[in-house]
Amino acid sequence: MKTADIAQRYLDFFEDNGHTIVPSSSLVTSDPSLLFTVAGMVPFIPYLTGVVPAPYPRAADVQKCIRTNDIEEVGKTPRHGTFFQMLGNWSFGDYFKEGAIGYAWELLTRSEAEGGLGFDEKDLWVTVYEEDDEAEALWRSVAGVSPDRIQRLGKDSNYWSTGQPGPAGPCSEIFFDRGPAYGIDGGPATDDDRYVEIWNLVFMQYAITNVRSKLDFDIVGELPQKNIDTGMGLERVAFLKQGVENMYETDQVRPVLDRAVDLSGRRYGADHEDDVRFRVIADHVRSSLMLLSDGVTPSNEGRGYILRRLMRRAIRAMRLLGVEGATFPELFAASRDAMKESYPELETDYARLSAYAFAEEETFLRTLAAGSTILDLSMSQTKGAGGRTLAGSEAFLLHDTYGFPIDLTVEIAQEAGLDVDRSAFDSLMQEQRQRAKADARSRKRAIADHSVYREFRAQGETVFTGYTDLETESSVLGVLVDGVAVDRALQGQIAEVILAETALYAESGGQVADKGVIVGPGFELDVLDVQRPVPGLISHTVEVATGEVGVGQAATTVVDAANRRAARQAHSATHLVHAALRDTLGSSATQAGSLNRAGYMRFDFTWGQQLSDATKTEIEEIANNAVRDNLEVTTRVLPLSEAKELGAMALFGEKYGDRVRMVDIGGPWSRELCAGTHVSTSAEVGLISLVGEASVGASNRRVEALVGLDAFRELAAERALVSQLSTSLKTPREQLPARIAELSASLKAAEKKIAAFEAKALSEKAPSLVEKAQEIGGFRVVAESIGSAGSADDVRSLALQVRDRLGSSAGVVALAATVGERVTVVVATNDGSRAAGVRAGALAKSAAAVLGGGGGGRDDVAQGGGTDPAAVPAALASIVDSLRAA
């Protein structure tokens, strides 16, 4: 019985019995005390506690849940999973114990042909709270359960409360007996894995107060409205009904496990540690996919950190299975296909979800590459010195410099038999936080210390004339060199110049500063930057090109007209693209930042998924249609309140006074508060060409575009490229995609043939390598460099072939090869050498250290690598020396 079918049978049964079917709530709960929906009851807490009247007397649902407090147990037991689905039926002052017990037993034991779950009564056990005589009596009378199948347990297992004053009550649980092959006899009271809890019925009937602990409180009376809260684990029922050993082998999880098996080349069921890793991967990939579907994105805090940890544990497990490349494109697709029947949104929204996952894997693989080498070396040095604890300073270095998570460091160290000095690590982290706070205070003081501008600002605001003029005559109010006010600046110096008026635009609102010059009698200044260090004052950072400039001199600001024209085009294009985005995506696509400079604009906006090619084309077309329509661009200065009433949109990060400047393009179609420079009509913008769209953080996207002549040049370059390809490939332009796809397929096929040829050629070396075996320290040893290889897997395969040909006597094979730009060394041992204490992992790690890298692995086969091909003889010699000393 498929998992989705079990869930549907459950919902159908309770709907037939008068329950309202409620859709699953999000994994992201609105409860401020919880990161996630950790139990099926979470969405119903307001109704169960009576804070909010229930909208229905009885309900049923399949609730998505995430629980990571037992994350270390995932894969080790048949029932621990981070994501799970809880089947629940609820009564809010309607039926109580008798109804709950009757429904549960009927659904469980009704035949599959009649819509039930078809459990055999003889396989079911029941537990009740030790003082709940009523529940036991009802199990016997309503369900007909034999007294010897009912066990009374204490408050720690069969009583429910929140740990706070409020509702509470006894529980009754239903267990499935897997049979004597799975453990000892004696029922659920034995707490043995043989008995699997599948359904928990909570009878919420008492009000409690004076709560001293979750088990120690005072019952003050019965609730005026008694409620039923039940939960049946869908995954647990599924693995029992599907006849598999655990939840990881059910139809919604096993496909991911199988794909991991395929990618690793290892067999599920052959090695306990590998099996745990396969199960961790299957569980964590599914959990990650479900979290992404509910809007959680990877980050370093809160929910995002939990998601990141799940993903990185899955990546780490694949690495331990010998797979070093990206695997999420395969694993997440497998999980999507397994879960989409129950959650169709996984398929429709897969492009967005997978983009987050693939990016996270790519980032973490880089982190692993750098951090693992450092960690391996640190652990080797710690063990070499006889230590059992990795220094906190080493863990901090990995965290601070390489972005290696502390929990991963602890996990890897524990696998190597080492502890981590967490107290020292935590102390260093605290010192870092204090330094960061002190630095922030220092920078805040530095930024706030603007007293040098006080006397200039006291003379009034700098008048900006650039909206209408490209040249403005003024006078020099002040000159600063290295932040100190001086009388003059000399040729070759960098200085700040304060003027009474300027036509040069100071960077703000996403628009970069103007380019230009400042000229006067006997001097010319190249303008490097224009800023507003304090409100109302404009400062020009300049390099004195000729002469010297002094306080009181006349000066004329001259704007680079071509640069300003292109900048105006880009800024107006930003407004057009913003309006087009809102036209296409809706009002939820709000501005989160922008940058515009001559010929280029970028725009950040709140949106949780990648834009499709069709959407980007639509946005681009709307913006260019606005250019074609030659819309009038007008500006007004008016009170902020009036601008808001007119619907003007504010720019990201800008602060506004009582009076603001409002820019309209085509009237209300584009209406924003903006101090930037703009074209007079939209046609002056010229062409807008979207050239990029990407994520810039959780729920934020960025579009980039070239504008005006820059856009034309880009399209002209692409046209030339297409023409060149068409000529080179002797293919009409419209047939180029198909032709390139054909060539790409041919290339891949050729590469596959070459790889197969290389692998075969490598495999043919096995007999000659066996002939080179030497007797060293009582072992038959093959330690050879085999030149180059197509992949590390090829080297591994050859090493195993040579090992198998050495026969039953103690043998060790160590092969080194150049794979790409790295050197790979693979060590394989047979039963005889392992019985003598030889471990492949230790030998590979020592050889890799000589190669300038890291490595390790299992006792029977392991690999390492490095970047120093010249050290291959020494690396192999180190293995031979170790065997002589064994």
* Binding residue numbers for Zn(2+): 571, 575, 674, 678
| 683 in Cβ contact with 628 (< 8 Å) | yes
**Strands 700-707 and 600-606, how do they pair?**
antiparallel
Altogether, the residues listed in the chain come to a count of 886
| 579 in Cβ contact with 665 (< 8 Å) | yes
Identify the CA nearest to 847 among candidates 869, 824, 876: 876
Tokens of 382: 């710690």
- Paired with 87 in beta bridges are 62, 232
Alpha helices, DSSP H, located in 298-391? 302-320, 328-339, 345-348, 350-384
Instruction: State residue 600 phi and psi, 5-degree precision.
Output: -145, 145
d(CA 787, CA 256): 36
Question: What residues are designated binding site?
Answer: 571, 575, 674, 678
| 673 in Cβ contact with 662 (< 8 Å) | yes
Tokens of 286: 């599914």
d(CA 486, CA 549): 11
d(CA 474, CA 549): 13
Angular region, 260: left φ>0, alpha ψ -120 to 50, beta rest: alpha
d(CA 500, CA 453): 13
d(CA 785, CA 765): 11
d(CA 292, CA 810): 51
State the sign of the Cα–Cα–Cα–Cα dihedral 694, 710, 567, 534: positive
Identify the CA nearest to 159 among candidates 215, 97, 96, 225: 215
Identify the CA nearest to 553 among candidates 528, 526, 518: 518
Query: Max alpha carbon distance in the chain (Å)?
Result: 109
d(CA 185, CA 320): 38
Identify the CA nearest to 200 among candidates 41, 56, 373, 401: 41
* Three-state secondary structure call for residue 879: helix
d(CA 714, CA 742): 27
Amino acid at 233: G
d(CA 790, CA 793): 8
Where are any strands of DSSP class E within 683-792?
688-695, 700-707, 774-776, 779-788
d(CA 541, CA 483): 11
| Number of Cα atoms under 13 Å in the Cβ half of residue 594 | 28
Instruction: State residue 858 phi and psi, 5-degree precision.
Output: -80, 175
d(CA 209, CA 217): 6
Q: Give the H or E element holding residue 128.
A: strand 124-129
Identify the CA nearest to 805 among candidates 761, 837, 768: 768
Tokens of 515: 């380019």
d(CA 455, CA 498): 11
Tokens of 85: 């689905």
The Cα-based distances of 57 to 63, 91, 94, 172 in angstroms read 18, 6, 6, 21
Identify the CA nearest to 285 among candidates 365, 364, 361: 361
